[in-house]
Amino acid sequence: MTDASVITACDLTPITPLSGEDEAWLKELLREADVTALKLGLSGAGDTEESPLAYFDSRAGEWFAGRFVGELRYKDRTLRILPRFGMPVLSRWLSKIWGVRVLTSQGHEESSRIWLWELIARMWAGRLTLAAKHGLPRARYEERHEGLAIKGRLLVRESALRLHTGRSLLVSRTRNPHLDRRIGEILLGAYDCLRRELAHLGGEPKWLTERGATLIADLRTGLQGGDGRNSRLERTPVRYTPITETYRPVVDLSQMIIRQQPFAASAKGDRPVTGVLLDMAEIWELYVLHLLRYGLVDHEVVHTGREATVERWLWESTSAGMPLGALKPDILVRQLGSDDVVAVIDAKYKMTIPGPGRPQGIVREDLYQMAGYLTAFHDAPAIAGILVYPRDGTDGTIAQLQQRGHWCLRGGQGRRLSFVGIDCKARVDDTAAEDEALRVIRSRLS
């Protein structure tokens, strides 16, 4: 692949330079790509908010990448979108989310592929552990027995027929659990693919937990050394039972890994677009969540933004009591041991540099959304709203808004808004930026 066949950009930044041929290809890619199908979610929950892969800003006269990072391949060309704060910062966020150190490759040409595979491996390992919460994938198979003793349930009619023909045998039936070979081989096949792709990390413990390694060993033993090679050639769908249904997510991901094409999705079904996209807004939200859980030990930090349940409603019918306008803030902070909400926190992965559409650095929708949250929690006597943004050392907008302290909602007694920025251009091994953000958030809760 030549350099001309790869368009590289960073999330939420201009895609430059673009030739006329590049722009035509990009437009076609945007028409063909199904972003929802290409997106690899970390939280296991859906996000109904639609966001473009890339867009043209007519006011700036430039193409901009959206909030996703990853690689997409279409018609022998590749769009590579890297995290704008750099790979080490993304690794730090993921390390905070998973509680383990995520290594960063030093390569340039292959760096995107390498970190994507490591991320996919950790996602796969997490789904495997979650699926195996109640044990290995087992299915119950019926076995018939003939003999002088009964095993399980006696089959009266069949036994009577044997006796009628002069054979003194009893026929019985048992339903015994056995490993689901189809599911097991698919899982082992994906494991072998990941092990090959990540051999440079120095071993499976870099991306596979001890529990995951135990599950893989048990699968190999139960399947007598199966490696998934048969499953690669078999096209028949997997049949799930109520017992093995929990394995569907990890099996789906495993089949994509085995094909060496983690995701493939086209809006029209022909000329597929292959690749993986990661939603940086989701990663930022989970990073902020785990940072708060670490730093606010005297409060309960609840993740609600991507759950199916609705926390509050903005409107209610005066006649029928019917609610309207579901509200699901990212994070709620409660008093420890009670349901009293003291803060609504939204993690916003957005640019805050003043520009068209955001003259003060903050888009109006964020302010309207937080006003709606604070209004909906009308039963909380004093509640704080906090918007948390990433920033680099040159962006002083959030820092200035943060220094101004509380912003009061006009007409809303006890409703306060605060802005918090976390410096993402600081040294990745320095916790000072995180500590400062937690200090500010704690002060806003008092």
Q: Do the strands 6-10 and 77-82 form a parallel or antiparallel pair, or are they unpaired?
A: parallel
d(CA 201, CA 195): 9
Other Cβ atoms within 10 Å of 48 Cβ, number: 6
CA 373, 377, 381, 386 dihedral sign is: negative
Structure tokens at 159: 């036994």
Break the chain into its structural domains and give their ranges: 3-134+181-280, 138-179, 296-445
- Rounded Cα gap, residues 331 and 315, in angstroms: 21
Please state whether beta strands 77-82 and 68-74 pair in parallel, antiparallel, or not at all (unpaired).
antiparallel
Q: How many residues does the chain have?
A: 446
* CA dist 388 → 6, 405, 437 (Å): 34, 14, 9
Give burial (CB, 10 Å; 0-12/13-18/19+) of 63: buried
Q: What's residue 109's pLDDT?
A: 37
DSSP state of 98: H
* Nearest in space to 262 (alpha carbons), one of 125, 113, 130: 113
Q: What pLDDT is attached to residue 47?
A: 57
Query: What is the C-alpha separation between 147 and 168, in angstroms, rounded?
Result: 8
pLDDT 10s digit of each residue in the chain, 446 long?
345 689 999 999 999 889 999 999 999 999 999 888 888 777 655 555 678 999 999 888 899 999 999 889 899 899 999 999 988 888 889 888 877 666 554 444 344 455 678 878 888 988 898 899 888 998 766 778 788 888 878 888 888 888 878 888 888 887 767 788 899 999 999 999 999 888 877 888 888 989 999 999 999 998 875 544 554 445 668 889 888 999 998 998 898 888 765 566 666 655 588 888 889 999 999 999 999 999 999 999 999 866 656 567 777 788 777 888 778 889 999 988 888 899 999 999 998 888 777 778 888 899 999 999 988 887 777 789 999 999 887 667 888 888 887 888 776 666 889 999 998 876 667 788 899 999 999 999 86
- 3-state SS assignment for residue 303: strand
Q: Do the beta carbons of residue 346 and residue 366 sit within 8 Å?
A: yes
H or E segment to which residue 175 belongs: strand 170-179
Residue 212 half-sphere exposure toward CB, CA atoms < 13 A: 21
Q: Tell me, what's the pLDDT at 262?
A: 59
